[in-house]
Structure 1
Amino acid sequence: MPHADSLILTLVGGFVLAFVFGMVANRLKLSPLVGYLLAGVAVGPFTAGFVADTELAPQLAEIGVILLMFGVGLHFSPADLMRVRKVALPGALVQIAAACVLGWLLGRFALGLPDIEAFLLGFALSVASTVVLLRAVEERKQLKAEVGRIAVGWLIVEDLVIVIALVVMPLLIVPPGETLNSAQLAQSMAWTLGKVALFVGAMLVVGPRVLPWVLVRIAHTRSRELFTLGVLAMALGIAWVAYRLFHSFALGAFLAGLVLNSSPLGHNAAERSLPLRDAFAVLFFVSVGMLFDPTILVREPLAVLGVLAIVIVGKSLAALAITTMFRLDRATSLTVAASLAQIGEFSFILAALSVSLGAMSRETHDLILAAALLSISLNPFVFALVDRLGARPPEPAPAPEPARVTDLV
């Protein structure tokens, strides 16, 4: 009896090649995410050799999105955000606006894109990668410092904007050939936002009373497997409810993590879900790489350089402007700018949603993926550059050793 092996081959090919390419990237002092994306390119339909199931991979990637957003919620601290809100909130909004304007200008006048597609191009280029930023700040041992709190708070605001956008975008973008009726739009927006408000309210009021209580009862069984399964069931179940209500896995997963973060067992929940989050996050990046056509680097080199310039130069200058306006010191401003000079997972999610809604072409989608791949690869060099400009404070001089008797004789 023949067995369907598409799932097994996709998992084996994805994990093995992601490990190999990730190790190579790590040896080259690059982010392992670059290796995961290249592994997806290697098993994608645009390169020779083994081709993974291009229909199954996006579904596995959706699970990766759910667990990524669940992790964002688990590590979201309203208290940390409030401490840096005066810089992070206006900074993130100004940077998103600047990237949207630059993307629209590039798309509209240089690439000849329609207004909505050019705007979505800029919007996708505005969002930095949570994974890349946290790893860069942790390697510099600045996660608990002021610069780390500002960078993470900045990114949290960007993530919240994207979560809202993922809910609203299907309402604002209509299929080609259809017109947007203002009355119908207002009714749809009111209905959807009303459902979102009720769902968020229920999660924030009922969730802290129910979900921690369930976790405590599971913990009393003293079964690690049941506790891990319970955490996973909560994340996937609440994400599915959110998807059924307003077609957004991301919001439900984020709220589930946010509620569990405030519970006494929140740390244990984060620890138990970490291996699953890491595994499916790898599959997420591999599946994104499968959708990337690398020939665009040769076909449209100037367009690739244009979007890359927006990510590395445009976003960095916007971050420098807002941090300078708030009178932050030179080292903090440069470090925040370098941390945000890349794009990643949420850019992929926005681009994929735009393509599925018919508002973005595959060519523009490939430009965004090229910008992500190159900006993540170049991010260590951006940090090296800002360090030379004064981002890293000088190391304190070692204290002189006390004179020894033999030295005085």
Structure 2
Amino acid sequence: MHDEGFLFQVFIYLVAAVASVPIAKRLGLGSVLGYLIAGVIIGPFVLKFVGGEDEDVMHFAEFGVVMMLFLVGLELQPSLLWRLRLPILGLGGLQVLVTSLVLAAIGFVAGLPWQTALAVGLILAQSSTAIVLQTLNEKGLTKTQAGQSAFSVLLFQDIAVIPILALLPLLAAPAITAIGAVADRVLLVAAEQSGGASAGLPAWQQALLVIGTVSGIILGGRFLTRPLFRFIATTQQREIFTATALLLVVGIALAMQQVGLSPALGTFVAGVVLAENEYRHELESDIEPFKGLLLGLFFISVGASIDFNLLMQQPLLILCLVLVLAIVKFAVLFGLGRVFRLEMSQSLLFGCALAQGGEFGFVLFSFATQNKVLTEDVTGPLVVVVALSMALTPLIMIINDRLIQPRFVAAEIEAEADEIDDGETPVIIAGFGRFGQIVGRLLIANGFEATVLDHSPTQIELLRRFGFKVFYGDASRLDLLHAAGARHARLFVVAIDDRDRSLHVVDLVRKHFPHLKILARAIDRRHAYEFIRRGVEVVQRETFDSALEMGEAALRLLGTRAYKAHRSARIFKTHDEQALWEMATLEDDTRFARGQQLRQDLERVLRADDRGMTHDLDGAWDTTALQKEV
């Protein structure tokens, strides 16, 4: 029956994940919020499918956090981690310290004993590593200032769980004045919590065991994993490599648990050690699916753990506590962001991302209750507060994305443009990223001056250091186009990354400067269709030529003669470009049928060319013309 109950729980969790996430993504809510809502629905207060006393899946799912930190470690080379030491220790340390003290002061003013208030402050200072990193990763924000700062704070918080776990019993114990006694007490508490090999050992032996375990992980990861993975790779059995990767993660987590340290911290250290290993990408690809699935189950478990009975009994108190927690953490994080010179928009994102309780709060509240630091009257509502704050984080991030950040983007776009006083130039280039730079460098190298417009201050500053004459401004502004000399220019190059903005710029130029010949960079084929319909003279798909060159190289490597491979590529290019302009005028329902016909024509032309045929095939494509083109 136990096995049947476990399998039923797994089935329910998987059904909830499969049903909820696609709907949430379609509604623009993100996968994390979808998981949390699914947990509420299948939990004990709605459908009652999960949430009983025996929650094997919850403990299993918590391992997703461990795997996540291992993968995070794999992305961080030791040199990068060393460069982050200031934000980790400075920003992370100040966040935990200031947030703990502010929340403790609020609790003390509210009537809690100072020991209880301090314990609550330390626990609520934690944020959710799982939810924050997953949300930032989904939104592509991990490499931003706010994303890097959030990671630093979360890493310090995960490390801080160890001393918090050990120090909490001291708040309930009689005053201990001897420093040596305090140190012994800290180590003993950590060992007792692990329930592992270090339990009951003297403090100095526990310390040696901890140091030895961590050193073993570092040395083993540096010197033993390469020959091990090399040996496993020779088997050519991918499932064995996957099993080895899982064995590595589980083994390290178990070893850290046995010595009283955080499994997540141990696997993170192991990931950092393996960051320069040549098998790093293989490890990532093998563990990523397990991490994603287990994290999803963990988020569902958090949603199912929200005690709606307690929420309905004390709705005003709990909602006020959630609001106070979010406001305090946001204010502290925003202030620290400004102190550490984050931009205003990044400081707001930083505060929104971390303004919640963390998953370690559940563990710490349970531990504090067992050690009589906190009573159940205190921990009961606070556990609900932590769960609700975690569930609200995706909503807060959506509000930030849709209401807060656009104001800063708009302010950047509407900022006063640079004065353009270089005189008239024959070419204007809108957008000077990886595509526009190549066009501009070729023109400038051949003696043609160009006025370059870009709306990214960071990009402009970088390019000016390399000696380019780039001006800040949004090319969709008519007054800026006049200032750039569009009335007297001959060519207008649209190399903007954004699909909608590039089309808007073309419409503007076509309307007000019809004499300009437009050359446009298309992101894909459909984007190219839009340009062609607008009468753009030259449309270049950004990846077409490079992909064609790779295809030609592939033909040569497969044994095709170099001349034949080059000729086939040129025929393919001519055929595809003609097809592009023809199909741009067709509707979707007829475009697919015509596309199949054109593909068949291309195959026949290439076969005919291979046999030396040069006559017209069905009047569709004349290979004689193609030969001349080649």
Q: 1:48, CA displacement in angstroms?
A: 4.6
Task: State the identity %.
Answer: 27
**Aligned mates of 1:65, 1:359 — CA distance in 2:** 27
> Among 221, 232, 253, which residue is 2:267 paired with?
253
Aligned residues: 403
Structure 1 position 156, deviation (Å): 2.7
1:375 to 381, 393, 400: 393
Instruction: Tell me if 1:186 matches 2:200.
Output: no
* 1:145 CA displacement: 4.2
1:311 CA displacement:
4.2
In the TM superposition, what whole-angstrom CA distance separates every residue of 1:188-244 from its partner, at most 9, and x where no partner exists? 424444432222222223331112332222122121101111010111112112222
Give me the TM-score of the superposition, normalised by structure 1: 0.83
Shift in alpha-carbon separation, 1:357–1:253, aligned structure 2, 3 A: farther
Q: Deviations over 1:156-187 (max 9, x none)?
A: 3333333x34xx614642797x6576665432
Instruction: Decide whether the 8 Å contact of 2:349 with 2:400 is kept in 1.
Output: no
Q: Say if 2:62 and 2:295, in contact at 8 Å, map to a contact too.
A: no
CA distance in 1: counterparts of 2:410 and 2:333, whole angstroms: 17
User: C-alpha separation between the residues in 1 aligned to 2:320 and 2:360?
Assistant: 20
> 1:273 Cα deviation (Å)?
0.3
CA distance in 1, matches of 2:151, 2:7: 37
SS for the counterpart of 1:298 is helix
Gaps of 5+ in 1: none
Structure 1 vs Structure 2 CA RMSD: 3.4
Query: Is 1:173–2:169 an aligned residue pair?
Result: yes
Q: 1:52 to 1:6 in 2, by over 3 A?
A: farther
User: Which residue does 2:589 correspond to in 1?
Assistant: none
Residue 259 of structure 2 aligns to a residue in which SS?
helix
Is the contact between residue 343 and residue 372 of structure 1 (CA under 8 Å) also seen in structure 2? yes
Distance 2:141 2:47 in 1: 43
Report if aligned partners of 1:297, 1:370 keep a CA contact under 8 Å in 2: no
Provide, for residues 23-42 of structure 1, a one-character-per-residue CA deviation record: whole Å limited to 9, x for no partner: 34334432422332333333
Which secondary structure does the structure 2 equivalent of 1:22 belong to? helix
Say whether 1:219 aligns with 2:233. yes
Structure 1 residues 375, 146: CA separation in 2 closer, same or farther (over 3 Å shift)? Answer: closer
| Alpha-carbon contact 1:66-1:250 (below 8 Å) kept | yes
Q: What does residue 198 of structure 1 align with?
A: 212
1:269 is displaced (CA, Å) by 0.8
Name the one with the larger helix percent: 1
Counterpart of 1:342 in structure 2 is 356
Match of 1:230 in 2: 244
> Contact 2:146–2:342 (CA<8 Å) still a contact in 1?
no
For 2:348 and 2:77, how far apart are their aligned partners in 1?
24
How do 1:3-402 residues align onto structure 2 when only pairs under 5 Å count?
4-51=3-50, 54-55=53-54, 56-110=56-110, 112-138=111-137, 141-162=140-161, 164-165=162-163, 169-170=165-166, 172-173=168-169, 179=174, 185-188=182-185, 189=187, 190-191=203-204, 192-246=206-260, 248-355=262-369, 357=371, 359-360=373-374, 361-387=379-405, 390=408, 394-395=412-413, 396=455, 397-398=474-475, 402=492
Return the offset for 1:345: 3.4
CA distance in 1, matches of 2:371, 2:65: 18
State the one-letter code of the partner of 2:183. A
Displacement of 1:348 after TM fit? 4.1
Cα 1:11/1:47, change in 2 over 3 Å: same
Structure number, greater radius of gyration: 2
Q: Distance in 2 between matches of 1:347 and 1:75?
A: 26
Taking the aligned partners of 1:282 and 1:86, their CA distance within structure 2 comes to 32
Bigger strand fraction? 2
Aligned-residue offset at 1:85? 3.9
Task: Note closer, same or farther for the CA distance 1:194–1:115 as it changes in structure 2 (3 Å cut).
Answer: farther
**Bigger RCO (CA 8 Å, 6+ sep):** 1
Following the alignment from structure 1 to structure 2, what is the Cα–Cα distance between the partners of residues 256 and 408?
Answer: 62
Deviation at 1:281, TM superposition (A): 1.4
CA separation in 2, counterparts of 1:54 and 1:255? Answer: 34
Return closer, same or farther for 1:330/1:39 CA change in 2, 3 Å cut-off: closer
Kept in 2: contact 1:343–1:376 (CA 8 A): no
Contact 1:316 1:340 in 2 (8 A): yes
**Aligned-partner Cα distance in 2 for 1:381–1:340:** 14
TM-fit CA distance, 1:18: 2.8
> Following the alignment from structure 1 to structure 2, what is the Cα–Cα distance between the partners of residues 20 and 79?
42
Q: Distance in 1 between matches of 2:39 and 2:146?
A: 34
CA contact (8 A) 1:170 1:357 kept: no
Instruction: Confirm or deny: 8 A CA contact 2:32 2:299 kept in the other structure.
Output: yes
Closer/same/farther in 2, CA of residues 392 and 243 from structure 1, 3 Å limit: farther
Flag the 1:266–1:356 CA change in 2: closer, same or farther, 3 A. farther
